[in-house]
Structure 1
Amino acid sequence: MARYYVNKNAQANGDHEVHTTGCSFMPAQENRIYLGDFTSCAPAVVEAQRYYRQVNGCYYCCNSCHTQ
Structure 2
Amino acid sequence: MSEFYYFHNTVDDKGNHEVHSESCSYLPNAYNRTMIGYERSCSDAIKRAEKEYPTKSFDGCYFCSRPCHTG
Structure 2 partner of 1:27: 28
Moved runs in structure 1, 4+ residues, more than 6 A?
Answer: none
TM-score using structure 2 length = 0.86
- Match of residue 63 from structure 1: 66
Instruction: Quote the residue 1:9 is aligned against.
Output: 10
What runs of 5+ residues in structure 1 fail to find an aligned partner? none
* 1:48 positional shift: 1.8
Distance (Å, rounded) in 2 between the aligned partners of 1:23 and 1:7: 12
Q: Take 1:48 and 1:6, find their aligned partners in 2: how far apart are those partners? A: 8
Q: Percent identity?
A: 37
**RMSD (Å), alpha carbons:** 1.2
User: C-alpha displacement at 1:22, in angstroms?
Assistant: 1.9
